[in-house]
Amino acid sequence: MKSDSAEDFSKDKCLLFFSPHMDAAPPQPSPEDPATSRFREYLRIQTVQPEPDYDGAVRFLVREAEDIGLQIKKVELSPGRIITVLSWRGTEPHLRSVVLNSHTDVVPVFEESWTHPPFSAHKDQAGNIYGRGAQDMKCVTIQYLESLRRLKSEGHRFPRTIHLTLVPDEEIGGHTGMELFVQHPEFRALNAGITLDEGLANPTEEFSVFYGEKCPWWLTIHCGGNPGHGSRFIENTAATKLYSMISRFLEFREKEKKRMQSDPLLTLGDVTTVNLTKVNGGVSYNVVPAELSATFDLRIPPTVDLKEFECQIESWCKAAGDQVTWEFHQKCMNQTVTSTDESDPWWKAFSTPCRELGLKLKPEIFPAATDSRYLRAAGYSALGFSPMNRTPILLHDHDEYLNEGVFLRGINIYTRIITSLACVPPLPDEH
């Protein structure tokens, strides 16, 4: 009888030998990219307003800076609000620097509405990393750091100094963060030439880059009128005037909305948004009030004549009747924008590597507000950019996430952009 040697195994017997029913070691998962691990660690630090763990964030950032080999400085302009500045000195430090800005705080969460705990940095099988700050904007902070880690490890040196500025309280207006910092000698000592700050995800193939912002106006309309008993037809009431004012604002809102919808070239940053956010007044169910008020949030693009627009609001108030006044809680009047002309050396240094990487840039006006508004108002060039295309816009939303592949590609993108900016030749006023 012929023996069953290894050479005599039939195809069927081979299949049987390697049957999945037999004991075998399960496939081992691929190790996670260290940059992803550091991103997830940062997401777990609960820098959530109104009580952010800034100490935890600063400890993390300092540890990473020490590991990379960056210079570290801490600036405290408001109690408990540390601004961390991480620097990589250039070979020609008299040249204006590249400043990479990022805020460390995140907005509150409604945990019951999240699929995964918002500070767990859960990564699902598709590679989506869930966490508050995944898009806004802890991803960008880590992408900055990982880009510098890569460049330093490869032995690169650049003429221009690179600074990372990590600031608090952007999510509550930046008044104890960048608004103070940009006017302080410590910021002026950075000798900034160009600043990068946060942008937005883009669900299309395009990458949004923001060269300006809308002016936020928050104002309350106060309407006074005749009080009286709720059973009578009182004339000249506060309610009648308030109705007139609300109608004016919401009619204008609808007009702007239709204007944007009718022109595919317009974005949210190109039109004025209006939202009624508060209505106050009244003393009892059966008393006609002597005063009512309504508060509006307006975001006005740089193309609008602000003085003319304020005159329009004044005309609405006069048309509503007597005892109608308005009060501003915020009234930004700075409409400075950063150049996106190819003749501008900073824009050219930003856009060229993007084109080389095949990125389709979409220059836009930011529809809300970031720390860039303080930078531009102080005379500094600032571009808002978060390299997240084919990604839903989820900042401040439930289940905020960023895909790992998008995050890692962003490091590659920033590596090229930072290199280009840090190598801008000396400008005429820098010799």
Domains and CATH numbers, the chain: 34-213+337-430 (3.40.630.10), 215-301+303-331 (3.30.70.360)
* Among the listed residues 162, 155, 125, 129, the one whose alpha carbon sits nearest the alpha carbon of residue 39: 129
| Global confidence as pTM | 0.88
pLDDT of residue 8: 41
Residues annotated catalytic, as ranges: 105, 170
pLDDT of residue 270: 97
pLDDT per residue as tens digits for the range 61-111:
999 999 999 999 999 999 999 999 999 999 999 999 999 999 999 999 999
pLDDT of residue 10: 37
pLDDT of residue 431: 75
| Alpha-carbon dihedral angle through residues 405, 407, 411, 412, given to the nearest 10 degrees | 30
pLDDT of residue 24: 52
| 3-state class (DSSP) for residue 137 | coil
The number of beta carbons lying within 10 Å of the beta carbon of residue 71 is 12
pLDDT of residue 13: 33
Burial of residue 310, with CB atoms counted within 10 A of its CB: 0-12 exposed, 13-18 middle, 19 or more buried: middle
With a CB cutoff of 8 Å and minimum separation 6, the contacts of 203 are 389, 390, 391, 392, 393
* Among the listed residues 92, 58, 46, the one whose alpha carbon sits nearest the alpha carbon of residue 164: 58
Task: Extract the residue ranges of the chain whose pLDDT is less than 50.
Answer: 1-23
